[in-house]
Amino acid sequence: MGRFLVTGGAGYIGSHTCKMLAKSGHEVVVYDNLSRGHRDLVKWGHLVQGDIRDTVTLREAMRWFRPDAVIHFAAFAYVGESVTNPHMYYDNNVGGTLSILKAMTEAKAGNLIVSSTCATYGQPDRMPITEETAQNPINPYGQSKLMMEKICRDFDAAHGLRFMAFRYFNACGCDPDGETGERHDPEPHLIPRALMAANGEIDALDIFGSDYPTPDGTCVRDYIHVNDLASAHIAGALYLMDGGKSDAVNLGTGRGTSVKDILDAAARVTGKAVPHRMSPRREGDPAELVAAVGKARSVLNWQAGNSGIDQVLASAWNWHVKDRKAKSLS
Ligand code: UDP
């Protein structure tokens, strides 16, 4: 069984991955500064509270824990915020990754799983997006993630520090047991906002653009359940621990789902109407992003098995109701 240091383990994808690691018998230490993560979601390992830019604390945590692999989730991930505050994104995402790589080389720790994104591709004109599609990000968030990938490659060349960069498509859904889930404040993402609209927490969901060149005019994305992402991270870590070479791999389902499809599923699963209104396009949104998934299958023998759209919505709704109830009681 392995030992995993998980940066950002108190966050959305991180906490789901920690749960899956622990349930599979692995040992987990979470490294998180709790700026956006939640202490109550650290349930499956010891917490070291620290910032990823604090190389010394990070290095000491690695010397003490001696991880077999580091899974690095700690990053900012809002496109709009990255446009208005690029410093935050380059400082935390790029500077933080540089610090992790330095700490790993100093602590002689190997095997890094790093979160990248389909936003590194920008607005490709051909679907599905393969890993060979040109990476031309159109915002500082995507740029920062592309820089992270490049820096990892340089560290591999110089120090033999092997890594796996996962380019996520749209992470969604929650732990079906309701033990962890998605909690952002403010919440910009489509699925939680659709559930907030169904629950009467906001007047209506804004559909950002209905004149896209897609079958129903709304944006198409590839929604992948967070537990599928978690299982891919474990597969990626085991691949590196087994001597696999550094690589970059898309994590998606290969299926496109429109904003309207999501609203229909939200109504089906909650049994409630989802009030919505047509709104202007959101700046920086490509019409369609769908992953080619063959490389994940061939390199990792992994594919998304829990990402049916009703399955996603049901798990998200279960968490949503439970988390709102806990909040109203606290
Ligand atoms: N979206 C929307 N209304 C919202 C939030 C999102 O219509 O209130 C659309 C958005 O334009 C995009 C899709 O839903 O096409 C997914 O957006 P989200 O913010 O969830 O993820 P992103 O694709 O930005 O990572």
265-323 pLDDT, tens digit each: 999 999 999 999 999 999 888 999 999 999 999 999 999 999 999 999 999 999 999 99
For residue 241, count CB atoms less than 10 angstroms from its CB and return exposed for 0-12, middle for 13-18, buried for 19 or more: middle
Domain ranges of the chain: 3-170+224-251, 190-221+254-329
CB 253 within 8 A of CB 131: no
Which CATH number describes the domain made up of 3-170+224-251? 3.40.50.720
Which CATH number describes the domain made up of 190-221+254-329? 3.90.25.10
**Ligand 1 centre from 30 Cα, in Å?**
29
For residue 199, count CB atoms less than 10 angstroms from its CB and return exposed for 0-12, middle for 13-18, buried for 19 or more: middle
Residue 138, pLDDT score: 92
Q: What is the pLDDT of residues 117-135, one digit of tens each?
A: 999 999 998 999 999 999 9
CB 24 within 8 A of CB 234: yes
Among residues 31, 89, 121, 141, the one annotated as catalytic is 141
- Residue 141 annotated as catalytic: yes
Q: Is the CB of 98 under 6 A from ligand 1?
A: no
Task: Enumerate residues 6+ apart whose C-beta is below 8 A from 96.
Answer: 51, 52, 53, 74, 75
Cis peptide bond N-terminal to 137, omega within 30: no
Question: pLDDT tier at 185 (50, 70, 90 boundaries)?
Answer: confident
Residues 315, 183: Cα–Cα separation, whole Å: 14
Residues 20, 44: Cα–Cα separation, whole Å: 9
